[in-house]
Structure 1
Amino acid sequence: MPEPTGAELAAVRERREQLREKYLHPKSTRSPSTARGIHHAAFVCRDVEETIRFYQDFLGFPLVELVENRDYTGSSHFFFDLGNRTLLGFFDFPGLDHEPYKETIGALQHMAISVTSEQFEAAKAKLDDAKVDYLGPDRGADDSLYFRDPNGMGIELYREVLGNFEGSELL
């Protein structure tokens, strides 16, 4: 992606500040959310078994269901437990030509998954042992690891309390 010019960067920053002023209400005046949380996020995978091995065996997210996709005969729909009653779902679509993953409008840039410090250190050791490329830890607090799953999706393991971002309580 080409780097923005100084003038473009200044305009983007000014627009961001305008949006913050217009829409980001102080915590004390925000209305409560009408949602209860994410039930599940569903993504497409190339290979069911490879995806299960990565998320369950490598990252430690238990597989909790594996059924046929009711909307596509022959396709599987399966779920992993991400904790706090949140599920991560996948579909496969046999016969579909899967292009390499790319960041684009409507695609996942990355998914940040909250983990404890112990889980963070264990995952970092596993990534190192498996020679999986990752970025991080970063942000000065050593709280993030960024890597790609077998499908090319960006995953961030985030050593941060749910509802917090970079040490600030958002909720």
Structure 2
Amino acid sequence: MDLYSSIFELIDMRSFSNLWFWIALAVLWSTASHWVLGVPFDMVLRARRNGGQAEQDLEDLVRINTNRLLFISTVSGLWMLALGCFILTALLLTGFVYGLEIAQALFLLGFPMSLVGLLSLSTARLIRDEDATGEHLRRRLSRHRLYVQMIGVVSIFVTALWGMYQNLSIGVLGG
């Protein structure tokens, strides 16, 4: 038995039975719900509690990140949308039509995150159009975080169901 066979027996390289995939999934959604439009959510809570300079810092950081996100979407949004749709379609087809498990895993990570990206763009436009500040801004960011968490819960549930199905079907069929 050579070194590569030993390593592949020791570490299962299939996505849904690999511990690292599930750790990456947890870190992805934890990070996505903590950073709201590029602003750590603890800044929102600190601004709510303390006001003053914390509130000003929050408004400045949201303004900077909102303007940056909207500028990027204006300049290269169509190209990014086309590339994202191409990649997600390729992952969908190679994963679920041709049965490549790594493509399934990447699609189940990427598709919900693309929804979060679109939600972030929508929230950034609303904040800019409403010129949201103070309590209205904090409410808007909290609502955005809630929606991201809802997408995350559904995503983790669907990924867990699909992963269990894959692991059981491979275990029953023997590979």
Q: TM-score, normalised by structure 2?
A: 0.25
Greater radius of gyration (CA)? 2
Give TM-score scaled by structure 1 length. 0.26
Whose RCO is larger (CA < 8 A, sep 6+)?
2
More helix by share: 2
